[in-house]
């Protein structure tokens, strides 16, 4: 097992990350980071010789439905309900300033 992380080391990491950490947070973060590092150390100690690397432990398959054409809304009727329409499309305010 590796040595336990100190509050000074957590403060140093926080400084490098440009994070302000209050004293009460420092205690909590030190404990949490220590737990993460202990878990990583335990995983590092595992004998994984002969274990195949994998990205997904379960076989995945796509479940697709048939592409069937079904009745849809009438475009003219939908555009008639829109606040503004132009040339068969919805008219919306410009997103990047004034339109020319």
Does residue 74 form part of some domain? no
Over 80: is that where the pLDDT of 97 sits? no
| Number of independent structural domains in the chain | 1
CATH value at residue 27? 1.10.20.60
Query: pTM for the full model?
Result: 0.49
63 domain residue, yes or no? no
CA distances for 95 relative to 57, 82, 98, angstroms = 44, 18, 8
pLDDT exceeds cutoff 80 at 26? yes
Residue 34 located in a structural domain: yes
Output the pLDDT for position 99: 57
Task: Please state the rounded mean pLDDT for residues 34-50.
Answer: 93
Domain encompassing residue 14: 7-44
Question: Considering the domain boundaries, does residue 98 fall inside one?
Answer: no
Please indicate, yes or no, if residue 73 is contained in any of the structural domains.
Answer: no
Confirm whether 23 is domain-assigned.
yes
**Higher-confidence residue: 100 or 14?**
14
């Amino acid at each position: 097992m590796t040595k336990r992380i100190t509050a000074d080391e957590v403060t140093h990491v926080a400084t490098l990350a440009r994070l302000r950490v209050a004293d009460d947070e420092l205690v909590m973060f030190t404990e949490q980071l220590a737990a993460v590092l202990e878990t990583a150390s335990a995983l590092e100690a595992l004998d994984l010789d002969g274990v195949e690397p994998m990205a997904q432990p379960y076989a995945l398959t796509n479940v697709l439905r048939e592409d069937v054409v079904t009745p849809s809304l009438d475009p003219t009727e939908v555009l008639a309900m829109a606040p503004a329409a132009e040339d068969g499309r919805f008219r919306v305010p410009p997103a990047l300033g004034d339109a020319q």
